[in-house]
Chains A and B, each alone.
Chain A
Amino acid sequence: MKQLIEISKELLESRKAGYIIGYTEDKFHRTKPFIAHTTNDAEKLTFNQKAVHNLAVYLTRLPKPKEGKIGIVAKGCDIKAIIGLIQENQIKRDDIIIIGMNCNGVVKDINIDYNKENSQMKCSICELRTPKHANYIVGALEDFAKSELTKNILAEFEALSAEERWKFWEKEFEKCIKCYACRQACPLCYCEQCIVEKSMPQWIDSSPTTKGNFAWNIIRAFHLSGRCIGCNECERACPVNIPLSLLNRKMGMVAMKEFNYRHGIEPDQPTLIGNYNTSDKEDFIM
């Protein structure tokens, strides 16, 4: 990680960057997000296969630096979130410095070391191991054990009857405790007032009842339609283990199938929602 530290030091020393959003390791060898403000902090920066967190979430959460730009350490897949935020006027490309990391896959369960089983599915189909749109590219690409996509969970799930799907989600959503960890962990959930916090009118019941949970999870998935960049942080953050990525991946498929669109690929790409095509399908409209 020498290179990462050197670059970060230089950026902080020259005040090109006010701070750098990166990863560090604590004394229990947990890899966790870390904000480096000083060159001493920079010494603590690291990157490894447990650097699963999508740090783009901090771009809209942290106060802007007094001086200099925001430096951010990012995997290729995380950069999609950064580009997405640019597409949605949340940040300007010129206000950030992206230190892109060549990525050799990250873990699913952060408490266990990386192995074939404990790896994110997105990694086995990753096209961005070498990041795009980065100011720097750090680290070396190495072969890594990919989890086999033995089965297409999405397809399997859709094979179920509507009845069975309803039962499935009823059971899952019943668990939801409305802690909103999914929202807070999501780099694209940057609203200053989430619709569930709007009480006049209360479109979505704030009570964690199954009904309110249905509304919350459906509308959240809808608001992320054509916007989710598939980092899976929502699912990882969920304390009651609701398989949220199923919903988001389904919406991602729709965006791909119907509109051949993926969010966060190019900064100047017109967003999916907010634009239209006169030939959008309407076979479902009477």
Chain B
Amino acid sequence: MKNFVITREQLANLASKLLGENWTVISPSQNGSKYLKIKDAKDLIIDSALKPTDISMKEHFFPKSETLFFFKRKKDDYELIDAPGSEAKTVIFGAKPCDASAIPVLSKVFNWDYKDEFFNKRVENTVIIGLACKFEDENCFCTSVGLSPLAENGSDIFLIPLSDDKYFMKPITDKGRDFIAANETFISEADNISEPINDFSTPQKRFSTENVKEWLDKNFESKFWFNAGETCIGCAQCAYVCPTCHCFDIVDEDCYSCGRRVKNWDSCQFELFTKHASGHNPREIQGKRYRQRVSHKFKYYKDRFDELLCTGCGRCTRGCPVSIDIGLILEDINSHFLETINVNN
């Protein structure tokens, strides 16, 4: 099969051409805070060693706040008006594998019982150009969740840096192929270059998700949770920066004559999340909320969609004001599981 090579310079040119054609062009921001819509190709950042941005890429598919529809108040009823969906053709440059791979995972839930047209439309209109990752810190564990610095899942095109500012450009999906075809002037063909994966260290696995899941299956009531979640202050930054967390809240914002129904990010880490009108709360303590977070990622989602709801990007740990390390917690669960095995034999 055909492979391609593109230079850093050509990537920039490509970006400015697309900008010229009113594409929405997105790249990690200078200050590393988020994936940003850029107005100028010089803001394009292609850097394997880049630390994952503070906030994940998901907001460009599943925004923090999104109008579902507007309504106008009539004397005795309401008139509904569709919210203008985003039609803009979009390309994301330099998506981390741990960000790109989140998109197909999210697609599962957004196309489960109900098809989320807003999400699907954005995915459909977006070309994700993934970039192999050379960053690693103690918070990363992509390899433990079945991914790697070279994971192509979710990318339409995948870039692997070669020497002298060249990038090995690998089409992954038809959308990617079409994109390359449409922009071949910037891209040179490169037949049978072997993929230069050798200079990518693969972080060692820290735990087995199978073990973790098996333990989770059996230890819903374990007091482990109450220690694990004890110091959690219930700020939901973990969920908000997470590439895969997808809980949302739907509210109506009412003005006198018109209003709108909005979908906003929400999180299971809030006490209010499960609080009943009666005042009763089935997850009355933070430990149970933290259990929910871990179980959803490594058990429930697996049960329902056969996917893990975690890409090991380590954002939740990096951002946690009280330094709760999900990686360590999964390691603990793993070793707890192994202990139980040993006990049994």
Residues of A within 8 A of B (CB): 26-28, 30-35, 53, 57-58, 61-63, 110, 175, 177-185, 197, 199, 202, 205-209, 233, 236-237, 239-241
Contacts and interface: CB of A to CB of B under 8 A. Distances in A.
B301 interface: no
A26 B323 CA distance: 9
A110 B328 contact: no
Most chain A beta-carbon neighbours within 10 Å: one of B227, B235, B321: B321
A180 B272 CA distance: 12
Contact of B33 (A61, A184, A207, A241): A241
Contacts of B323: 26, 30-33, 110
Contacts of B33: 175, 240-241
A63 B248 CA distance: 28
B264 interface: yes
A209 B231 contact: no
Given A26-B323, A110-B323, 5 more contacts: A175-B33, A180-B235, A181-B236, A184-B234, A239-B319
17 contacts: A27-B328, A30-B325, A31-B323, A61-B233, A61-B286, A177-B64, A178-B64, A178-B265, A181-B321, A183-B235, A184-B234, A197-B272, A208-B265, A233-B321, A239-B240, A240-B34, A241-B54
Q: How large is the interface on B (under 10, 10 to 19, 20 to 34, 35 or more residues)?
A: 35 or more
A179 B231 CA distance: 18
Contacts of B55: 177, 239-240
B240 A32 contact: no
Interface of B: 33-34, 54-55, 64-65, 138, 227, 230-231, 233-237, 239-241, 249, 251, 253, 262, 264-265, 267, 270, 272, 285-286, 319, 321-325, 328
Contacts of B64: 177-178, 208
Contacts of B138: 28
A31 B251 CA distance: 39
Given A30-B323, A53-B321, A62-B230, A184 B235 contact: yes
Nearest to A31: B323
B223 to A, nearest CB: 11
Given A178-B64, A179-B235, A35 B325 contact: no
A30 B322 CA distance: 10
Contact of A179 (B65, B240, B251, B328): B240
Contacts of B251: 199, 202, 206-207
Chain A to chain B: the 3 pairs with minimum beta-carbon distance, closest first: A184-B235, A181-B235, A32-B323
A111 to B, nearest CB: 8
B262 A207 contact: yes
B202 to A, nearest CB: 20
Nearest to B260: A207
Contacts of A199: 251
A209 B65 contact: yes
Contact of A33 (B231, B262, B264): B231
A178 B234 CA distance: 13
B231 A35 contact: yes
B65 A207 contact: yes
A35 B54 CA distance: 28
A178 B249 CA distance: 12
Nearest to B59: A177
A175 B33 CA distance: 10
A145 to B, nearest CB: 24
Contacts of A185: 233, 235, 321
B122 to A, nearest CB: 18
Given A208-B64, A208-B264, A233-B321, A239 B249 contact: no
Contacts of A110: 323
B90 to A, nearest CB: 20
Given A180-B235, A239-B237, A32 B324 contact: yes
